[in-house]
Amino acid sequence: MRLRELRLHHLDLPLVAPFTTSFGTEVSKATYVVEATVDTPAGPVTGWGECVAMRAPLYSPEHLSGAAEVTQRWIAPALFAVQDLRAESVAEHLEHLIGHPMAKAAVEMAVLDAQLRAIDLSFSAYLGVLRRTVPSGVSVGIQDTVSQLLEVVHGYVDAGYARIKLKIKPGADLEPVAAVRAEFGPDLPFQVDANAAYTLVDAPHLRHLDEHDLLLIEQPLGEADIRQHGELARLMRTPMCLDESIVSPEAAADAITLGAAAVINIKPGRVGGYLQARAIHDLSRAHGIAVWCGGMLETGIGRAANAALAGLAGFTLPGDISGSDRFYAQDIVTEPIVMHDGVVDVPTGPGFGVEVDREIMARFTTGVQTLTP
């Protein structure tokens, strides 16, 4: 294949409700989707990807405008120069560029989608996925009051979601967790996510979470604190899960060796793409470490790809693969992901199995960058 054009469609998608985490509140999702046109023996083919970086460098060092600039100035020229491009070689062609995994992942994703469409192969078949559905969990942001939180969780439980994840931060942790567990009983699969809001000094406080029989506590400490997560894991009964700390297979190997992760949250954008995500899955499975697929408020493009990834055998816990309507009143794909009976279907169409609705996408487009050799 030969890469002929990249278009970055910059979007601002309103959320159905504000989403609050330990680092802020989002009322809309700013993103860009990558449209890659490649030449193949059968003619030109288009593939789609999306960038999961946030507006500001609060979740990771990357931010959205920076990812777009890196793509324009360095990623695109490097890939335009490749005579025979394959998705499996994108990372190698870009390894001279330090960091920027989300920018790299978005382009690799679009190339992979085009490559699979060119041979009429689904992403799930490419991965060797046998499951037809995967369990669907939901992430609940920090609410203003406990009563409001319980009302929101009731809605998701009644809808049939397979697992509840609650965002927490200092001052909004023990009381809401205790309230949810008391309201819904011991059988509700329930976990918490701190998004690096604590330090090891908070260990005596965090140990009170052990009283609530949680599936896991996700990323309580800073992203660089793999060793300290290992220390905290030895002080708590609740299984330790790493998110922000796992930026590569090498980081996953370090976390496993140091006893810092009984569980790993795999987010393809954060680790540099879906092929790196598969490598982390394989490594974790070989070491008996459970993995699940996290979410970054993806559109239907990334949501479909995540559903296929989560079909791999090592994904033994429900991921953040909710229906599109959890976040968006209107998705940008023709057939948005739908949660039913606690699961979502693994797409089986060519590529990631979804089609972009250009008319709907245009309503939320704030700008388009066209990149050519």
Contacts of 214 (CB under 8 A, 6+ apart): 177, 190, 191, 192, 238
Instruction: Tell me, yes or no, if 167 is annotated catalytic.
Output: yes
**Distance (Å, rounded) from C-alpha 295 to C-alpha 277?**
13
Which residue of the set 29, 104, 165, 167 is catalytic?
167
Quick one: tokens of 103?
């920018």
Quick one: tokens of 340?
């039913």
Q: Which segments of 52-180 are extended strands (E)?
A: 133-135, 137-140, 163-167
Residue 239, CA distances (Å) to 147, 197, 217, 230, 235 in order? 27, 17, 6, 11, 11
What is the amino acid identity at position 346? V
Short-list 231, 230, 236, 261, CA closest to 246: 261
- 313-345 b/e with 16+ CB inside 10 Å = b? ebbebbbbbbbbebbbeebbbeebbebeeebbb
**Distance (Å, rounded) from C-alpha 308 to C-alpha 133?**
9
Q: Is 262 exposed, middle or buried (0-12, 13-18, 19+ CB in 10 A)?
A: middle
Contact between residue 265 and residue 243 where contact means Cβ atoms under 8 Å apart? yes
Centroid of chain to Cα 309:
11
What count of residues does the chain have?
373
Instruction: Tell me, yes or no, if 29 is annotated catalytic.
Output: no
- Catalytic amino acids? 167, 267
